[in-house]
Amino acid sequence: MRAPRVCLIEDDPIMGESLCDRFALEGFALDWHQDGESALRRIGHEPYDAIISDVRLPDVSGDELFRRLLARGGRVPPFLFITAYGSIDRAVEVLKLGAADYVTKPFDIEQLIAKTRQVIGAAVPALEQGEAGVLGVSPAIRRVEEMLPRVGAQADTVLLTGESGVGKEMVARLLHAHASAGRGATPFVAVNCGALPETLLESELFGYERGAFTGATRTRKGLFEQAEGGTLFLDEIGDMPAVMQVKLLRAIQERQIMRVGGDRALPVSIRLVCATNKDLRGLVEEGRFREDLYYRIHVIHLRVPPLRERSEDILWLARSFLRARSGAGAARRLSPTAESALLRHDWPGNARELKHCIERACILTRGLTIEPWDLFDSDFAGGAQSASEAGSLSAYLRSCEREFILHALQDHGWRVTETAEGLGISRKNLWEKMRKLSLQAPLE
């Protein structure tokens, strides 16, 4: 099946480059034109499946371009418009003439890709599913993990978003590992942009020359240079001051930096991974984050879902943390009631909170079996299921049975025969229980 072919008409070089990189990664063939006239000359001669055009172009406007194509007669591919908020009325007018849809700036690239797939009506080759094992077992986190080898091989700028504690740095490190496979050891350098004072951020990122300021007694390489050949992880990019946003954009665009007090540009070859728990689009609309920087780092966007959206990972992570904490000592285990308490908690602090919870339990428990009161403070209401919550003894027992069988299935990789042997029941009996308890293997 041939790749869907898209014509992009966008005069902004940063946005155009970002869209080209992302659409190529998603399996599209993209032709990029920076003015309307050059696009008009190609449309009709190329088998485009869709056209994406900015409303405002340096020569002919996007809506005028669409009208001229209609006047030509013949087939006009589905049109998607990119428009600023102030030009929505013009986009609406062309929708009345037959354009497919529009997105408003600042837009989410995933939204544009989804709309493009929708108007084309053709399937874009999807990523092949692989086995999970590093980040989790839930379909949501497996989707993220399955993208990392492909992203690592092709992308030099990646944006990770997600709530605090979801494991964005873990994703960044795994991405770095995939990108560095077969190349030997390469550096992974991480910095929290919100933890450094504005006065120190520039010298930390770009370094400084001897004598650049009081106390600069020697030349020092910044984080960009320290990450040469590897990955620079900028955490909490949304907290970066406006002045540094300009300098960061220049460094990303040109792949060059200048040390504080220096007089020459230094080339750098790095993979840049940015992360934030903030809504960058909202910050752009509020004028607190540069729009051009947003599009430059938004080439590849991976959202790391919160733990409440991937409950299948709760016990998998808890057991991983237990194994890491036990080390060479006797292995601790979670009691069924402790596991039930973990599953009922909403985890506002995500995986980080879960890790701290397990560490607390390992310190406080005297035996090898962890109970709910070891996991949570004494005033935690969800530590044990009350009679009113359970509704009846049979409902409580059914819940415990379901959780116990679910964990056994996960431990055996959802291999029914092995799980049945481990539980001491027949394969047929296990199938019947899975049907009765609504247990299904995750989609492959």
Q: What is the pLDDT of residues 96-126, one digit of tens each?
A: 777 888 888 877 787 888 888 878 864 333 3
Amino acid (one-letter) located at 422: G
Contacts of 23 (CB under 8 A, 6+ apart): 6, 8, 30, 113, 116
| Displacement of CA 439 from its chain's centroid (Å) | 28
Q: Token match 């299904």: residue? A: 440
Higher pLDDT, 293 or 401: 293
According to the model, what pLDDT value does residue 261 have?
86
For residue 235, pLDDT over 50 is answered with: yes
Mean pLDDT, rounded, for 82-102: 77
d(CA 419, CA 217): 65
The first and second tokens of residue 197, run together, are: 């004072």
- Pairwise pLDDT comparison (90 vs 31), residue with the higher score: 31
Q: How many helices (H) and strands (E) does the chain have?
A: 20, 16
Question: 3-class SS at 52?
Answer: strand
Sheet hosting strand 271-276, strand order edge to edge: 188-192, 231-235, 271-276, 157-161, 300-303
Cβ atoms < 10 Å from Cβ of 217: 8
Q: For residue range 362-384, what is the model confidence (pLDDT) as tens digits?
A: 888 878 888 888 888 654 444 34
- Nearest Cα residue to 291 out of 423, 444, 105, 152: 105
Q: What is the pLDDT of residue 350?
A: 93
**Cα 69 to Cα 219: distance, rounded to the nearest angstrom:** 59
**Is 335 a residue whose pLDDT tops 50?**
yes
Which pLDDT score, from 0 to 100, does residue 377 have?
67
Least-confidence region, from 133-137, 160-164, 344-348, 417-421:
133-137
pLDDT at position 375, please? 87
Q: What is the pLDDT of residue 179?
A: 86
Q: How high is the pLDDT of residue 31?
A: 92
- The torsion of the CA quartet 411, 417, 422, 425, rounded to 10 degrees, works out to 130
Per DSSP bridges, beta strands 369-370 and 101-104 are: unpaired
pLDDT band per the 50, 70, 90 thresholds, residue 386: very low
Phi/psi of residue 168, nearest 5 degrees: -65, -35
What mean pLDDT is predicted for residues 63-72? 86
| Beta carbons within 10 angstroms of residue 264's beta carbon | 7
Phi, psi of 57 (to 5 degrees): -125, 160
| 324 has a pLDDT exceeding 90 | no
* Average pLDDT of the residues in 33-54: 89
Distance of CA 392 to the CA centre of its chain: 42
- The residue-averaged pLDDT of 262-270 equals 89
In this predicted structure, the answer to whether residue 86 has a pLDDT above a threshold of 90 is no
**Separation between Cα atoms, residue 380 and residue 54, nearest integer Å:** 54
Tokens, residue 110: 């995933």
Instruction: Please check the confidence at residue 444 and state whether its pLDDT lies above 60.
Output: no
Token pair recorded at residue 140: 């949501």
Query: What is the mean pLDDT of the segment spanning 226-240?
Result: 92
pLDDT on residue 385:
47
- Residue 95, exposed/middle/buried by CB under 10 A (0-12, 13-18, 19+)? middle
Q: What is the overall mean pLDDT for the chain?
A: 83
**Helix (H/G/I), strand (E/B), else coil: 36:** helix
- Does the structure show a pLDDT above 80 at 11? yes
CA distances from 11 to 35, 101, 226, 307 (A): 6, 20, 35, 40
Let me know if 317 is exposed, middle or buried by CB neighbors in 10 A (0-12, 13-18, 19+): buried
199 or 276: whose pLDDT is higher? Answer: 276
Burial of residue 233 (number of CB atoms within 10 Å: 0-12, 13-18, 19+): buried
Per-residue pLDDT band for 22 (boundaries 50, 70, 90) equals confident
What pLDDT does residue 327 have? 57
Q: Phi and psi (nearest 5°) for 269? A: -120, 100
pLDDT surpassing 60 at residue 198: yes
As a residue count, the chain comes to: 444
